[in-house]
Amino acid sequence: MNKKLNTLFINTLKNMSQKILILALPFFILSTAFFLPTNDNWKDKVRPQVFTELERNDLVDIIIVMQRQADVSAASVFRNKNDRAAYVYQQLHTLREQTQGSVTQILDNTSANYRAFAVANALYTKTDISTIEQLASLSEVKHILHNPSVQLEMPETEDYTNLRGPSAIEWGIENIKANQVWELGYKGEGIVIGGQDTGYEWEHPALKNSYRGWDGTTADHNYHWHDAIRAIDPLHGDSTLEAIHNPCGLDVPFPCDDSNHGTHTMGTMTGDDGDENQIGVAPAAKWIACRNMERGWGTPASYIECYEWFIAPTDLNNENPDPTKAPHVINNSWGCPEIEGCDSLHIELMETVVNNVKASGIVVVVSAGNSGGSGCSSVSNPSAIYENSFTVGSIRINDTISGFSSRGPAIQLDSSTILKPNVSAPGSSVRSSIRDGQYATFSGTSMAGPHVAGAVALLLSAKPELAGQVEVIESLLEQTARPKLSNEGCGDIDSLTVPNNTYGYGNIDILEAVNTALLVSTETIIQNPIGVSTYPNPFNNQIQFQVEHLEEPSTLNIFMTNGQCIFSTILEQGSSTQSVDLRGAASGVYLYTIKNKGQVVQGKLVKE
């Protein structure tokens, strides 16, 4: 073959090869893509329950948890409640604006309805698998959780006759000595209680005058009411037609109770019809509220939404939030058990919420639960298990623990345990308000918690400068509680000591708490930084004080509850042990104070 033909032949082969390669390339790419592994890392962020629900439905309720959570620890430097609330609000909302943009852009592009939270850096929406993949692929997103429906532990009934009724102060009010605090001139004036529950019948004769949205002539529900219930979970397994229709409706613009439970709890906190029915611990306090359950069924998203609103209540359009309108204390009766779908990540998320609410200066009062029949560690559900929840057990009219009242210790996510409940209060056979202007007697820790929330209002009306100082408020209620011993040995704490995992620090005594708060300067009350322990306590004649970390010689004083000092001595710098003989003193409760560098550590002693 001559040179010219050879060159032509070679060029022809090259052209044919290029054409063959071009034609074959798409098939190669397709086959290669088919066999290459796909990147499914996004699925690791999505809880299995989300995929399970997607097998049944095209859309699923989810909570999107962001990687970054706000640090509000500096809130403790603010002594004024409004300053503290404003700081926490600013920190939470700044982080939300900085981190949620990519998530909201995806949700906006899909025209999804969503709610962006700040009280924990998270969002709630209802969406499909494609959007979930996009969301989980974002580096800013930490987890995607399902949003389970959880049923409230409804009150139980015990075989104890209610001895009170119209024209008589309820037994629970007398038990915690609230009526004696009234005689001192404190009924909750100037204090706001928040309730999140099944709703509230605001026009009930016992509740209307204490509702913050009522001025005696007209009602304005802006900043005083929020409804987090906008849908009904498909019948909650109920096939009856009536289950589709909530008696209040959905997203209602005024307080309404669809289940009696909320109205009953609020009655115990502030109820007074001005005539025969003196059912409330703090009748001069005002209340605001959020419905977080639909006839007893709530979700983590509805609980979070109510907490969000309480930190900075809004108008009825959910606009113009105002932290200065936040309550001083919130009563909580809801739960989120694992058996109903709340897993460890829900528990972690809700703890972040509770921590931030407390940091804003609000006392978070929580019912311990009604699982006492299960024995030790039956305080097992959020939010009763959290360190920063003030958890309340229930007592009977004879001052002993209710059989249903859940016991501690509470097991934490890291398997450690903490003391629970913190205190106990009347919860068996409690008469209070229900819907349609009526009254009824219920039993449950849901009835005990409101006594403590009301007690907080009495304490703050007596000592307004304590507002926002949650640790001090809780310490006062604990240290002045009537100590109770138990024959139940739950956890590492001896049942024959105080506190214990049956009663906590004991049954609350709000008269003692108020007298103590009035006796000791607010500016000097601190928790226990120098390490004070007393033993035995309760004691017979002699009691030992073990004190550590004293930075200078300090004064130990022991007072009677009327303020009279009966013992005083100087403790040496460093660590000190002091034996005190009080054999000549009468049986009862005494208060001790240890002054150290201008501060005062205070506590309670009980002489048998």
Interval 400-427: pLDDT, tens = 999 999 999 999 999 999 999 999 999 9
Domain count, the chain: 4
Q: What six digits make up the tokens of 388?
A: 């920063």
Give domain status of residue 157, yes or no. Answer: no
Give domain status of residue 477, yes or no. Answer: yes
Give domain status of residue 155, yes or no. Answer: no
Tally of CB atoms within 10 A around 179: 17
Q: Which neighbouring-strand residues pair with 605?
A: 590
pLDDT higher at 571 or 243: 571
Chosen domain end from 481, 504, 519: 519
Same domain, 453 and 572: no
Same domain, 210 and 304: yes
Using DSSP, state whether 462 is helix, strand or coil.
helix
Tally of CB atoms within 10 A around 523: 11
Tally of CB atoms within 10 A around 427: 33
Give domain status of residue 577, yes or no. Answer: yes
Q: What six digits make up the tokens of 341?
A: 């779908």
pLDDT surpassing 70 at residue 157: no
pLDDT higher at 239 or 175: 175
Tens of pLDDT along 172-213?
A: 999 999 999 999 999 999 999 999 999 999 999 999 999 999
Same domain, 185 and 242: yes
pLDDT surpassing 50 at residue 382: yes
Distance CA 211, CA 467 (A): 20
Distance CA 484, CA 504 (A): 8
Distance CA 283, CA 281 (A): 6
pLDDT surpassing 60 at residue 36: no
Give domain status of residue 545, yes or no. Answer: yes
Same domain, 399 and 506: yes
Give domain status of residue 11, yes or no. Answer: yes
Share of residues in the chain with pLDDT > 70 (%):
86
Place of tokens 């692929």: 137
Same domain, 296 and 177: yes
Distance CA 319, CA 313 (A): 9
Kindly indicate the confidence band of residue 243, based on its pLDDT and cuts at 50, 70 and 90: low
Q: What DSSP character marks residue 262?
A: H
Chosen domain end from 498, 519, 540: 519
Same domain, 564 and 441: no
pLDDT higher at 539 or 494: 539
pLDDT surpassing 90 at residue 38: no
Q: What are phi and psi of 172, to 5 degrees?
A: -65, -35
When pLDDT is averaged across residues 217-225 and rounded to a whole number, the result is: 98
Same domain, 115 and 203: no
When pLDDT is averaged across residues 292-315 and rounded to a whole number, the result is: 96
Same domain, 578 and 508: no
pLDDT higher at 259 or 589: 259
Residue among 327, 325, 389 nearest 195 (CA): 327
Contact 402, 435 (CB under 8 A): no
Cα atoms found within 13 Å of the Cα of residue 151, Cβ hemisphere only: 8
CATH number of residue 66's parent domain:
3.30.70.80
Distance CA 367, CA 152 (A): 12
Q: Which domain holds residue 92?
A: 41-147
